[in-house]
Amino acid sequence: MSRIVFATGNAGKMREVRMILEDLGLEVVSMKEAGITIDIEEDGATYEENALIKARAVAACTEDIVLADDSGLEIDRLNGEPGVFSARYLGEDTSYSIKNANLIGRLEGVPEEERTARFVCAIAAVLPGGQELTTRAAIEGRIGYEEKGEGGFGYDPIFYVPELRKTTAELTGEEKNLVSHRGKALQLMKEELRSYEGIDCQ
């Protein structure tokens, strides 16, 4: 039976991904669980390029289906920053309380209607036959004035979704997956995988 290796070392992402892919009926494992411990340099210019770089690097180590994502937060007032550099913004090892406080500080005095932002996610797949697929989705929101919520990870506590009147950190895992960039991009990828002959999924 085919298995999916998801190319991330981020535990928060892995939790979300497992929940979304569950109904494919395939085992979903992280790189670490698959015993793959390579360092991958994400030097692409777009989310799709970075997702493909990760998926190809892991696919070189396994016969399984490989999925990878690349995602980021784009703040309109900051010309799309931090964008593809979201994980590296202010340094990879800097805590998100510092990153979030910094972004809120950079938006000081900016009124609510100009605090628009989106999370974007591209998913790449490399199939055992070498075929490559990508999907992309986004969720629109606004940058809040303070951190709110304990769920999610990363920039979730400052990403406010007006329709839900909550930040994505105030949503349960299930609620976030229904509306999030990653949830929607993975749903699109699931449809692509289901249409592929030779992949034995539900």
* Catalytic positions, written as ranges: 70
**CA-CA distance, 118 to 71, in Å (whole number)?**
10
Give the one residue of 110, 153, 187, 188 binding ligand IMP; rule: CB under 6 A: 153
Closest by CA to 119, choosing from 170, 78, 88, 82, is 82
75 CB-near residues (< 8 Å, 6+ apart): 81, 82, 103, 107, 115, 116, 117, 143
Please choose, out of 23-31, 32-40, 65-73, 103-111, the segment that lies near ligand IMP by the rule CB under 6 A: 65-73
Residue closer to ligand IMP by CB (options 164, 201) is 164
- Does residue 154 belong to the site contacting ligand IMP (CB under 6 A)? yes
User: Is the sign of the CA dihedral 101, 82, 154, 175 positive or negative?
Assistant: positive
Give the one residue of 2, 3, 10, 83 binding ligand IMP; rule: CB under 6 A: 10
Asked if 160 and 171 count as a contact pair (C-beta separation under 8 A), the reply is no
Residue closer to ligand IMP by CB (options 48, 192) is 48
**CA-CA distance, 70 to 197, in Å (whole number)?**
26
**CA-CA distance, 126 to 160, in Å (whole number)?**
33
Asked if 180 and 139 count as a contact pair (C-beta separation under 8 A), the reply is yes
- Does residue 187 belong to the site contacting ligand IMP (CB under 6 A)? no
Count of Cβ atoms closer than 10 Å to residue 44 Cβ = 16
Please choose, out of 19-27, 67-75, 130-138, 184-192, the segment that lies near ligand IMP by the rule CB under 6 A: 67-75
Please choose, out of 28-36, 101-109, 124-132, 148-156, the segment that lies near ligand IMP by the rule CB under 6 A: 148-156
- Does residue 86 belong to the site contacting ligand IMP (CB under 6 A)? yes
Please choose, out of 19-27, 71-79, 106-114, 142-150, the segment that lies near ligand IMP by the rule CB under 6 A: 71-79
Identify the DSSP state of 168.
G
Provide, rounded to whole angstroms, the least separation between the CB of residue 29 and ligand IMP.
Answer: 17
Provide, rounded to whole angstroms, the least separation between the CB of residue 193 and ligand IMP.
Answer: 20
Q: Residue of minimal CB distance from ligand IMP?
A: 154
Residue closer to ligand IMP by CB (options 14, 26) is 14
Count of Cβ atoms closer than 10 Å to residue 104 Cβ = 17
Which stretches of the chain bind ligand IMP, using CB under 6 A? 10, 42, 69-73, 86-87, 119, 152-156, 168, 180, 182
